[in-house]
């Protein structure tokens, strides 16, 4: 196998090493091309990862449903009627729409984003108070700093426990003070802190200054009966959120006597739309990077072909001698094509190494920050594989140019050249 022919390789390194400076200059084009390609792709990946991090913990195929006021009169009801859901709606929806994976009802103290004063040993915080099902954690994951989130035991026994936000903790406790097991007071009822969470960087639905208590506890402590504020719903991965959204609206409209054309009465928010927009954006970014990178690479490889053409011209006589001694056109061609491949591959690897280094530095600078969506900017192995493969196949194609030129020269003409 010629690939393992030591002589072929020594020939190639001889010829390339003979003119180090020129070889280096030739490679520079490909080095830069690879640099640009990997930096662009890596940055696009970093951005994509950064967005992923921002939304980590939020189920992408999720939907939020709340009640607003009607905009159309219907069945004897006037417009402007406020829609208030009941807890039973959750069960009805779950039963009628099998595509719903998780449905977490929620209730808030007061109206939406209302602030309730929370007391503890003379310190107070104005926080939003939520009554939640533990399932909510499957839709918007809480980053717990300490303790645990609400669980089913808390629900069943209507335990007076709560999970508080870091902001609330700062307002109610001294710095470094232990909060787990401590009591806080809301509307005259004491709750024991079981967990502290940190804001998630994600789309902030709950606010940072908030207290979560079990839904059942909420019902008893604040006498909310079967009222329900809103629902967080996760849809099966194979189902479109919009489809489920429509089904939910239809069911709720019938149940609450809302005009079928009333668009305002039921408030919904489709989380998947945001995710789709962002992934479309990052995909376009990646595609563009690839496009630009590949064409830069093409330019680099053409530069190599150019230099090889000059080299072939210079080596006309040598090639003539080789052919007089019995080198077949195939052998001559192969050597030049392999030279092109070696140059390109080596330059590509150098460019790759440099750009990976730069990406690592960028990652150190920005990767850990929360404010800039730029995490782990790296090219994936398939991305690298494809660009490398493409580069090498380009170099083969373009190496054939000087190779064909080399064998076109008849040995006699080559030898005559002085």
Residues that bind another protein (CB under 8 A): 6-7, 14-15, 18, 317-318, 320-331, 407, 410-412, 415, 418
Nearest-approach distance from CB 398 to another protein, in angstroms: 23
Task: State which residue, 155 or 321, has the beta carbon closest to another protein.
Answer: 321
Query: Closest separation between CB of residue 412 and another protein, Å?
Result: 4
Q: Pick between residue 16 and residue 93 the one whose CB is nearest to another protein.
A: 16
Measured from the CB atom, the residue of 253 and 315 that comes closer to another protein is: 315
Q: Which is nearer to another protein, 14 or 95 (CB)?
A: 14
By C-alpha distance, which of 310, 388, 373 is closest to 43?
373
Please give, one letter per residue, the 3-state secondary structure of the chain: CHHHCHHHHHHHHHHHHHCHHHHHHHHHHHHHHHHHHHHHHHHHHHHHHHHHHHCCCECCCEEEEEECECCCCECCECCCCECCEEHHHHHHHHHHCCCEEEEEEEEECCCCCCCEEEEECCEEEEEEEEEECHHHHHCECCEEEEECCCCHHHHHCCCCEEEEEHHHHHHHCCCCCCCCCCEEEECCEEEEEEEEEECCCCCCCCCCCEEEEEHHHHHHHHCCCCEECEEEEEECCCCCHHHHHHHHHHHHHHHCCCCCCCCCCEEEEEHHHHHHHHHHHHHHHHHHHHHHHHHHHHHHHHHHHHHHHHHHHHCHHHHHHHHHCCCCHHHHHHHHHHHHHHHHHHHHHHHHHHHHHHHHHHHHHHHCCCCCCCCCCCCCHHHHHHHHHHHHHHHHHHHHHHHHHHHHCCHHHHHHCC
Half-sphere exposure of 191 (CA within 13 A, CB side): 29
Least spacing, CB of residue 7 vs another protein, in Å: 6
Rounded to the nearest whole angstrom, what is the least distance from the CB of residue 299 to another protein in the complex? 30
**Least separation in angstroms between CB 317 and another protein:** 7
Nearer to another protein, 112 or 313 (CB): 313
Q: Smaller CB distance to another protein: residue 331 or 354? A: 331
Shortest distance, CB of residue 22 to another protein, whole angstroms?
Answer: 14
9 or 388: CB nearest another protein: 9
CB of 370 vs another protein, minimal distance in Å = 59
The minimum distance between CB 20 and another protein, in angstroms, equals 13
When the beta carbons of 192 and 404 are compared against another protein, the nearer one is 404
Nearer to another protein, 10 or 96 (CB): 10
Q: Which of 289, 279, 381 is nearest to 40 (CA)?
A: 289
The CB-of-24 to another protein minimum distance in angstroms stands at 18
Q: Which residue is associated with the tokens 């006021």?
A: 69
The least distance separating another protein from the CB of residue 344, rounded to whole angstroms, comes to 23
What residues have CB less than 8 Å from 93, skipping those under 6 apart? 100, 103, 231, 233, 248, 251, 252
By beta-carbon proximity to another protein, the closer residue of 14 and 175 is 14
């Amino acid at each position: 196998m010629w690939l393992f022919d030591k002589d072929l390789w020594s020939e190639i390194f001889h010829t390339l090493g003979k003119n180090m400076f020129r070889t280096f200059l030739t490679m520079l084009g490909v080095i830069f091309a690879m640099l640009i390609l990997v930096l662009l792709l890596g940055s696009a990946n970093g951005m994509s990862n950064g967005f992923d991090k921002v939304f980590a913990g939020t189920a992408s195929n999720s939907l939020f449903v709340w009640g607003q006021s009607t905009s159309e009169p219907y069945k004897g009801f006037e417009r402007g009627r406020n829609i208030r859901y009941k807890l039973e709606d959750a069960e009805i929806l779950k039963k009628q729409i099998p595509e719903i994976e998780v449905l977490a009802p929620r209730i808030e103290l007061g109206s939406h984003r209302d602030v309730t004063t929370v007391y503890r040993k003379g310190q107070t915080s104005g926080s939003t108070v939520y009554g939640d099902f533990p399932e909510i954690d499957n839709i918007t994951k809480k980053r717990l700093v300490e303790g645990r989130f609400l669980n089913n035991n808390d629900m069943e026994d209507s335990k007076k426990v709560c999970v508080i936000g870091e902001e609330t903790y700062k307002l109610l406790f001294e710095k470094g003070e232990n909060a787990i097991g401590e009591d806080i007071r809301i509307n005259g009822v004491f709750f024991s802190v079981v967990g502290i969470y940190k804001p998630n960087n994600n789309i902030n639905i709950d606010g940072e200054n908030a207290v979560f208590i079990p839904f059942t506890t909420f019902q008893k402590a604040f006498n909310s009966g079967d009222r329900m504020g809103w629902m967080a719903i996760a849809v099966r991965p194979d189902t479109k959120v919009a489809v489920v959204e429509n089904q939910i609206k239809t069911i709720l409209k019938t149940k609450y006597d809302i005009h079928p054309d009333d668009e305002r009465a039921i408030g919904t928010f489709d989380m998947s739309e945001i995710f789709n927009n962002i992934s479309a954006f990052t995909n376009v970014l990646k595609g563009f990077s690839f496009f630009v990178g590949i064409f830069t690479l093409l330019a680099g490889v053409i530069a190599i072909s150019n230099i090889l053409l000059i080299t072939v011209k210079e080596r006309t006589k040598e090639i003539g001698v080789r052919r007089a001694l019995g080198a077949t056109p195939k052998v001559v061609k192969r050597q030049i094509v392999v030279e092109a491949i070696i140059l390109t591959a080596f330059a590509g690897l150098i460019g790759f190494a440099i750009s990976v280094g730069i990406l690592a530095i960028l990652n150190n600078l920005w990767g850990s920050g929360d404010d800039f969506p730029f995490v782990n900017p790296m090219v994936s192995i398939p991305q690298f594989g494809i660009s490398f493969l493409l580069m090498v196949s380009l170099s083969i194609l373009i190496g054939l140019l000087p190779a064909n030129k080399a064998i076109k020269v008849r040995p006699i003409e080559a030898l005559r050249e002085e």
